[in-house]
Structure 1
C-alpha cells in the first residue's frame, strides 16, 4: 500500500472510524494493533519476507528488557554490547558492504521501513539504561515500532511523546479534524502535482543536456537539473510527512514536524535544524551530544572545546549520509554533509575570533550577507544531492557535458539565483501578511485557508485524473 494514495486514505479512514467508536484504552490499543499489522502485511510480498524484520523487532525488545533489568557493574558493558548488536544486525539486514557477501541471507526479504524502526528500537535501548523510559508492554512496543502513520518514512517520534498521546482518550473535534484534512490535501498536492512536475522537469533536462548547444544552453539545462531535485525532494518528502501527520490527527497522534522552511536557512547547520528535523534531532540527542561529551572528557582543555564541536558535527552528519545507503555514492554524500556542517562550524569559530563576537553577530544580521548566505546554503545542498540521486557515471556525464566553464557558470547561477528568489519570496510573503482583516492576516484566515484548500484539492484531483503517468514514489521509502 503506497503512502500517500487514495487506497491508504480509505484504509486510514476506516481504521479511524473503528478506533473512535469507543474511548476504552484496551479497545484503542487493539484497533491500533490490528491496523498496524494489516498495514505492515500490505508491505510484505510474502510471509517469509517479513521474518527477518519481525526477528529484528523481537531482538530489540529482548535487549531493551535485558538492559532495564541488569543493575550493577555489568550494566555498562551490557549496554554497549546491546547498542553495538542492534547496529550490526541492522547493517547486516541492510547489506552494508563491510560484511562479506556470503554472510547475507540467501532468500529475499523486505526492509521497507526498517531504517525508521531501527531508530525507535535503538532509542528504547539507550533510554532503558538511563531509567528515563516509561513502562512499555509488548503490545505498546509493537504499536510504537510499527505505527502505521510513520512506519515507511517516519517522522521519528520518541516513545514518551508517543505514549503520552496514545494514552489520551478523546476523539478529534472539528478543529483538529479540519487541521488533519488540511494537511492531507496539502500533502497530496505536493506529492502528486509539485513533485511530479519537478521530477519530469529534471528528467527532461537530463535527456536534453548532452544535445543542447552553446555554453548558456548547457548551463541552463545544468541549472534545471541542479535546482529541480532539491525542490522535488522537498515536495516529495514533506508532502508525505503532511499526509501522515494529518492522518495521525484522527488517532490522537501528533507526529513531530519534519520541515520548517528549510530553504530560508542562513547556514548549513541551521539548514539541518529545519530539514528532516526528526532525524537531525534524534542524531543530536543520541550521537552529537554523546560524541561531544566523550571528546570533552578525553580532551578537557577549554581552548580546544569549540573544535571538538566541529569534529562531533562531522561524525554526526557523516552518519546521516551512510545511513541513507550502502554504496560509495552515499559515503561521499555523508562526507559532504559532515564536511558542510563541520566547515560551517569552523567558519563561525574563526570569524568570531577574528572579528569579535559582537561584530560577527552584526555581520550575520546584515541583509546582504543573509541573502548571499541563504543562496550559498541552497547551492551547497543542491551540490551534495548529486551523490544522493545519481551514480558516479551519471555525475561524470553531467560535468563532462558542462565542461569547466559550464560548471562554474551553473553553480554561480544557482547561488545567485537561489539568493534572489528566496529573498523575493520572503519579501512577497511579508507584504501579503500586511493585508489584515480584524487584526488577522487575510492569507491566514480560516476563510482564505478553506478556499485555498478547496482549490488545491480540486487541482490535485484534476491533475491525477489527467496525468499520463503515476506520481513518483516517496524517495525516503527506500531507506
Structure 2
C-alpha cells in the first residue's frame, strides 16, 4: 500500500509530482475525447484531501468531514423549507448556522486560548461557498439542489485551502459542459503557463523576499526600535512577499483547475498598478473582494436604502464600507492590527469616493494626464504597502512586545 505523505497544497515541489501524475489520465481524456471521468475525479479528490487532511492532521480531516455533513444537511433543509411562512427568519437562521463553525474557529482561540476542534485548513473558503448558495437559493438564482454536485463544489480540491472562491452556477456549467478538445488545448496552455509563473512567483521571488530579505530586515528593525528606515524597508519587503507568495499559490490553484477543464476565476490582476484603492480591491484577491461586495456590501446597502436608515446615500455608502472592512478584519482574526487594517481600508475608500466626487465636479480645474496617473499609482501603492505593514502584525511586535 502506498503511504502518501502529508502535504499542504502547493507548498512543496513534490506535491506537484503527485499532482501531475494524478491529473495525467484526466488531461489525456479531455485532450482526446473532450470528456471527464466523474468517478476518476472523485478518486483524485479523495487522494489529495487525504494528503492535505490525513496523517498527522487527521483531526482536521475529521473536522472537515463533520463540517461537510453539517453544511450539506443545512443547505438541504433550507432548500426545502425556504418558502414557508417564516421564510425570512429561516433564511437568517440558515446563514447564521452556516457561518457558526467559522465563528467558533475565530472566537475560541481569543476566548479560551485554544484552537477550536472544528477548525481545518480552508474552512473560511468553504463557508463562503455555502453562504453563497443559501443566498442565491433565496434569490431564486439556484433552483435545484443536487447533494453530490454541492459536495463536489464544496470540496473542489485545487481551491479548497485558500481559494479562489468560485460561483456555484459557473462551476456547475463547467461540470456539465467539459471543454472540447480544441478549447481544452487553450486550457492546457494556460494551465502550464500558470504553473511556470507560479513557480517563479512563489518559490523564487516570494522565497527571496520572505525567507532571505525579510528576516534580516526584521532583525535590524527590532534592534533599532521605533520608526526607522529598516521599518520602511520591512514594509515594502513584506508587501512583495505577501503578493508573490499568495499570487503564486493562486496561479497554481487556477492552473490545476485549467488542467482539469475548469475555468476557475483568477485572483490577482496586477494590483500594484491600481490608481486608487477601489481599483486595488478590483485587482487584489478578486474573488474574495467580489464575494464580500456581492453578498455583504450590496445587500447591506439595499437594506439601508430600502429602510431609509440614512437620508444621504453617501453616508449609507460610507457606513457600508466601514461595516464591510471591519468584518473583513474580524475574519482575519480578533487582533487590533487586523481590525485596524480593515478600518484603514474603509477610510481610504471613503476618502477615494469623496475625491472622485470632487474631481468630477471640478474636472475642468484638475489635470488628468500620464503624470497624474503615474502619481496616483505611486500614492496607491504606498498606501497599500502601509496597510500590509499593519496587517503583518510586525508593529505589534515592535512596539508592544
- TM class, shorter-chain normalised? 0.7 to 0.9
Query: Among residues 8, 21, 24, which one is paired with 2:15 in the alignment?
Result: 8
Could you tell me how far apart the structure 2 residues matched to 1:79 and 1:359 are?
A: 49
Query: Among residues 226, 229, 248, which one is paired with 2:238 in the alignment?
Result: 229
Cα distance 1:19–1:383, how it changes in 2: closer, same or farther (>3 A)? same
Alignment length, in residue pairs?
A: 386
Structure showing greater Rg: 1
Find the residue that maps to 1:149 and give its secondary structure: helix
Query: Among residues 285, 304, 308, which one is paired with 1:295 in the alignment?
Result: 304
Give runs of aligned pairs for residues 108-187 of structure 1, distance below 5 A.
Answer: 110-133=119-142, 135-169=144-178, 170-171=180-181, 173-187=184-198
* Deviation string, structure 1 residues 53-97 (Cα, Å, up to 9, x no partner): 222222222222222222132111100111112222321133356
Query: Among residues 349, 370, 373, which one is paired with 2:373 in the alignment?
Result: 370
Deviation at 1:7, TM superposition (A): 2.5
Find the residue that maps to 1:226 and give its secondary structure: helix
Contact 1:60/1:121 (<8 A) preserved: yes
Cα distance 1:391–1:20, how it changes in 2: closer, same or farther (>3 A)? closer
Cα distance 1:72–1:26, how it changes in 2: closer, same or farther (>3 A)? farther
Indicate yes or no: 2:217 matched with 1:205. Answer: yes
Cα distance 1:305–1:58, how it changes in 2: closer, same or farther (>3 A)? same
Q: Which residue of 1 aligns with 2:25?
A: 18
Q: What TM-score comes out, normalization by structure 1 length?
A: 0.73
User: Gapped runs of 5+ residues in structure 2?
Assistant: 1-6
Cα distance 1:210–1:47, how it changes in 2: closer, same or farther (>3 A)? closer
Q: What TM-score comes out, normalization by structure 2 length?
A: 0.87
Query: Among residues 45, 60, 66, which one is paired with 1:49 in the alignment?
Result: 60
Indicate yes or no: 2:337 matched with 1:329. Answer: yes
- Provide the aligned C-alpha RMSD in A: 2.9
Cα distance 1:110–1:308, how it changes in 2: closer, same or farther (>3 A)? closer
Indicate yes or no: 2:82 matched with 1:74. Answer: no
Query: Among residues 349, 352, 361, which one is paired with 1:344 in the alignment?
Result: 352
Deviation at 1:219, TM superposition (A): 4.5
Q: Which residue of 2 aligns with 1:246?
A: 255
Deviation at 1:25, TM superposition (A): 11
Could you tell me how far apart the structure 1 residues matched to 2:105 and 2:119 are?
A: 9
User: Gapped runs of 5+ residues in structure 1?
Assistant: 399-479
Query: Among residues 259, 265, 277, which one is paired with 1:256 in the alignment?
Result: 265
Q: Which residue of 2 aligns with 1:91?
A: 103
Q: Which residue of 1 aligns with 2:390?
A: 387
* Deviation string, structure 1 residues 372-424 (Cα, Å, up to 9, x no partner): 322221112111212322255424279xxxxxxxxxxxxxxxxxxxxxxxxxx
Deviation at 1:101, TM superposition (A): 2.9
Contact 2:158/2:253 (<8 A) preserved: yes
Cα distance 1:202–1:58, how it changes in 2: closer, same or farther (>3 A)? same
Contact 1:68/1:128 (<8 A) preserved: yes
Find the residue that maps to 2:156 and give its secondary structure: coil
Q: Which residue of 2 aligns with 1:359?
A: 364
Cα distance 1:300–1:94, how it changes in 2: closer, same or farther (>3 A)? closer
Find the residue that maps to 1:19 and give its secondary structure: helix
Deviation at 1:343, TM superposition (A): 2.7
Could you tell me how far apart the structure 1 residues matched to 2:237 and 2:115 are?
A: 37
Deviation at 1:119, TM superposition (A): 0.6
Contact 1:60/1:125 (<8 A) preserved: no
Cα distance 1:110–1:85, how it changes in 2: closer, same or farther (>3 A)? closer
Cα distance 1:288–1:357, how it changes in 2: closer, same or farther (>3 A)? farther
Could you tell me how far apart the structure 1 residues matched to 2:133 and 2:34 are?
A: 22
Deviation at 1:135, TM superposition (A): 3.0
Contact 1:67/1:129 (<8 A) preserved: no
Q: Which residue of 2 aligns with 1:306?
A: 314
Cα distance 1:317–1:178, how it changes in 2: closer, same or farther (>3 A)? same
Could you tell me how far apart the structure 2 residues matched to 1:95 and 1:210 are?
A: 30
Deviation at 1:330, TM superposition (A): 1.5
